[in-house]
Structure 1
Amino acid sequence: MTEQTNEQTTEQGSGILAGRTILVAGVTLDTSIGFAVAKFAQEQGATVLISNFGQALRITRRIARRLPVEPPVLELDVTDPEHLASLPEAVREHLGADAVLHGVVHSIAYGNPETLLGGKFLDGPWKDVAQALEVSAYSLKSLAVAARPLMVPGSSVVGLTFDATVAWPVYDWMGVAKAGLESCARYRARDLGAEGIRVNLVSAGPLRTLAAKAIPGFEDLESLWTTRAPLGWDNTDQEPTARAVCALLSDLFPATTGEVVHVDGGFHAMGA
């Protein structure tokens, strides 16, 4: 193990993720859910790696310094077969030849806001729809397969969704992509269960992330939570979602897989 990894383990020590190594894929800004997950995971004793790619990688490396312990930052484009194939090697480069991953977090989604969001469902071109489905849904399978050689019985894959059981205002093709993600998670849970690997999703309420700001009319969507979430909802607080993700990464849910856990103030359970 590297000196940096030993430092993480020594400084964090205890918690529900003590002794576990977690990869959080898709961390850009410190307002992202992925960043909140990485932060809480470190606070709970995990050794954390984070990833991004392209021009955003430079931002991620800078943002990584704001975590309790600066983690290794991997370049990983989940649509690039070469990046996916080299993931085990990249992890071992930082954590040693015997490295394992006890958890993988899929915090990745993209849909062209100019063609797929904000009331453009009927006009969405297939080229952009295909990209949204590949990045936001198919990549859960791609990432899980890439990480599989490093995972052990008891490992956990957790993705982030936005309730895809209904049609939302302005969300349009991203809603379809999230429906694909939720279905993909169930099939991944089926196929990886025999290896003792769990696959679950957390469905968060609307949060003021970089992705949310790109959705035209997002304010209309998030305003629904004002009166209908029985516990209330703070759209600037990513920590409740991060806590749920980390609970699913831990051994507190050893027999839970194929599940979607709602962290939305109870909104999903309410009628009109």
Structure 2
Amino acid sequence: MGILEGKTILVTGVTMNTSIAYKVAEIALAEGATVAVSNFGRALSLTNRIVKRLDPAPPVIELDVTDADHLAALPARLAEAGIERLDGIVHSVAFANPETALGGKFLTTPPEDVAQAIHVSAYSLVSLTMACKPILNNPASVVGLTFDARVSWPTYDWMGVAKAALESTSRYLARYVGSDGIRSNIVAAGPLDTIAKKAIPGANTFNDIWGDRAPLGWDDHDATPTAKAVVALLSDWFPATTGEMIHVDGGLHSTGA
């Protein structure tokens, strides 16, 4: 019996088979979960194609986490796919304009692009959770993904600020929904060669940093360790853990220069 046997999980942001979200969906299915995935816009067609590699192929829900109508309709859209209740949510959604908010442009980024980055990458953790709250079981688990934003990183700029906001948002979410049996935690992954990473100018420098400093080493092509941590947090094996950030980065966070 898998650790997610009998649970139903919504995994947002599944785009390619190289994404963390895809690997989470794959492992969750292997661990016995019923899974639904979501995406929107031009990426939706990619999602519809890539989920055919999963067994069974999960239903795909169109969901823009910044669209109030999409959020309001989410329980009904899940019900149409045969999902009446949820035990877990994976927040794998982030965006910052690579032309203005990343790659060393921190001091000149327009405020509207900062607002967009924080809305998509941080506030949506709350709006998504609240949209799903009427159909969340007790207990339930919400897990977000970050790139450790306790420090500054080269080129990461306003996405780093947005991720810092996400990490804090998860702690406040844990405070306010804990009485409903909902846990909120974050997994801080090392650099992985995903579409999101490729959109960050100069992000390949992270591979060199991790190659030199991660005590356990780091494979930037393997999302499995990160996905396993997410699945573990979705399970009943962390029943009293909330407001936490778990590092899956080969140990680099624990090192100095």
Q: The TM-score by the shorter chain falls in which range?
A: over 0.9
> What is the aligned length?
257
* Secondary structure, aligned partner of 1:186: helix
- Residue of structure 2 in register with 1:231 after alignment: 216
Please, what TM-score do these two structures have when normalized by structure 1?
0.93
Matched, 1:31 2:21: no
Separation in 1 of the partners of 2:107 and 2:205?
20
Q: Which stretches of structure 1, 4 residues or longer, exceed 4 Å deviation after superposition?
A: none
* Secondary structure, aligned partner of 1:114: coil
Q: Kindly state the Cα deviation for residue 68 of structure 1 after the two structures are TM-superposed.
A: 2.1
Alignment of 1:162-181 (within 5 A): 162-181=147-166
* Secondary structure, aligned partner of 2:81: helix
Separation in 2 of the partners of 1:265 and 1:177?
23
* Secondary structure, aligned partner of 2:99: helix
- Residue of structure 1 in register with 2:255 after alignment: 270
Q: Kindly state the Cα deviation for residue 127 of structure 1 after the two structures are TM-superposed.
A: 1.1
Separation in 2 of the partners of 1:229 and 1:69?
36
- Residue of structure 1 in register with 2:54 after alignment: 67
Q: Kindly state the Cα deviation for residue 221 of structure 1 after the two structures are TM-superposed.
A: 2.2
* Residue of structure 1 aligned with 2:31, choices 38, 44, 49: 44
Please, what TM-score do these two structures have when normalized by structure 2?
0.99
* Residue of structure 2 aligned with 1:133, choices 118, 125, 128: 118
- Residue of structure 2 in register with 1:8 after alignment: none
- Residue of structure 2 in register with 1:198 after alignment: 183
Separation in 1 of the partners of 2:82 and 2:243?
29
Q: For the Cα contact (< 8 Å) 1:203–1:262, is it kept in 2?
A: yes
Residue identity over aligned pairs, in percent, reads 61
Q: For the Cα contact (< 8 Å) 1:170–1:221, is it kept in 2?
A: no
Alignment of 1:1-272 (within 5 A): 14-95=1-82, 99-272=84-257
Can you give the 5+ residue segments of structure 2 that lack an aligned partner in the other structure? Answer: none
Q: Tell me which amino acid in the other structure corresponds to 2:108.
A: D
Q: For the Cα contact (< 8 Å) 1:157–1:200, is it kept in 2?
A: yes
Q: Tell me which amino acid in the other structure corresponds to 1:86.
A: A
* Secondary structure, aligned partner of 1:232: coil
Q: Tell me which amino acid in the other structure corresponds to 2:153.
A: W
Can you give the 5+ residue segments of structure 1 that lack an aligned partner in the other structure? Answer: 1-13
CA RMSD after TM alignment: 0.7
